Amino acid sequence: MWWERWRIAVMLAPTLLIIVVLFFGSLGYGFIQSLGYQPNIGNYSISLDAYSTVMFSERYSEQFWRGLRLTFFVSLASTAIAAGLAIACALLLRQTFVGKRVATFLFQLNLPVPHLVIAIGIIFLFSNSGLLARAAAQMGWISAPSDFPVLVRDTEGISIILAYLWKEIPFFGIIVLAILQSVGEDYEDLARSLGANGWQRFRYVILPLIMPGLLSSSIIVFAFTFGTYEVPKLLGVRFPEMLPVMALEFFLNPDLNARAEGMALSMIIAVIVLALVVVYMWISDRAIRQT
């Protein structure tokens, strides 16, 4: 009897133990280092000096706050635009048309492509010496490739957003498409029989059905774009830098005392993402209760 009661917990315990130890262990270790505790270099004192330095010091405060705004903007814009375009693509791909399988395959083709490869493709396509700039100059649309709009290494992070859109639209799209195919069209047909037009069917039928999957995938995309550094490092500017790139530079500093500032930035990023996850769980729980 007791085994049946505890069977699931016992079977899940090894996996959960690994996840909990790795997650909270690394989080705790990073937090301790962000407080300046680094015995390997003789630092045993604990303080919030690293947080104060990165957020309020004359040297780093402007970089931090502008980097925080840029990081939020890039992450929110990438997530929102990718979700919107993915919904449109999924609604088109669920229709029956000639070449549907080929179109669906091409839509998912770049899912296994690493973000670094996509970032390099963005440079080749959209930089001032890239393919589009040279083509525009050859066609006489601009006088020289250097006159092409600055889309790579720009202060607004446009190229970074483009790289994330290129990668995340298919990710959102396959999730939305899977949900739409699983629920079928019965609910829409019922709404249509009651006189609902296309927008009303989307607003009151399709959107509520796909919203749980859309929210959960949005959390994943936002957390990834908020915390990753590869694409911003390749496509971003020196100032303002996104927070993950700023943290990376502290880690790469030959002075090991700068490790505390890098850990402090990493902890700030982690807290922001965790707060968003908590908000998502609250919204999901509220939506479930209302239904």
Q: What is the pLDDT of residues 170-222, one digit of tens each?
A: 999 999 988 888 887 777 878 888 788 888 888 888 888 888 888 888 888 99
Q: Which pTM does this prediction carry?
A: 0.86
- Closest among 270, 282, 260 to 226, alpha carbons compared: 270
Query: How far lies 175's CA from each of 9, 91, 219, in Å?
Result: 29, 12, 13
Query: How far lies 216's CA from each of 15, 110, 220, 277, in Å?
Result: 22, 21, 7, 9
Q: What is the pLDDT of residue 287?
A: 62
Can you tell me which residue has the tokens 């799209």?
173
DSSP state of 203: I
In the predicted model, residues of the chain with pLDDT beneath 50 are: none
Q: What is the pLDDT of residue 109?
A: 85
Q: What is the pLDDT of residue 12?
A: 79
Contact 150, 176 (CB under 8 A): no
Q: What is the pLDDT of residue 209?
A: 86
Structural domains present in the chain = 58-290 (1.10.3720.10)
Q: What is the pLDDT of residue 73?
A: 94
Cis? peptide before 208, omega within 30° of 0: no
Phi (first) and psi of residue 43, to 5 degrees: -100, 115
DSSP state of 58: T
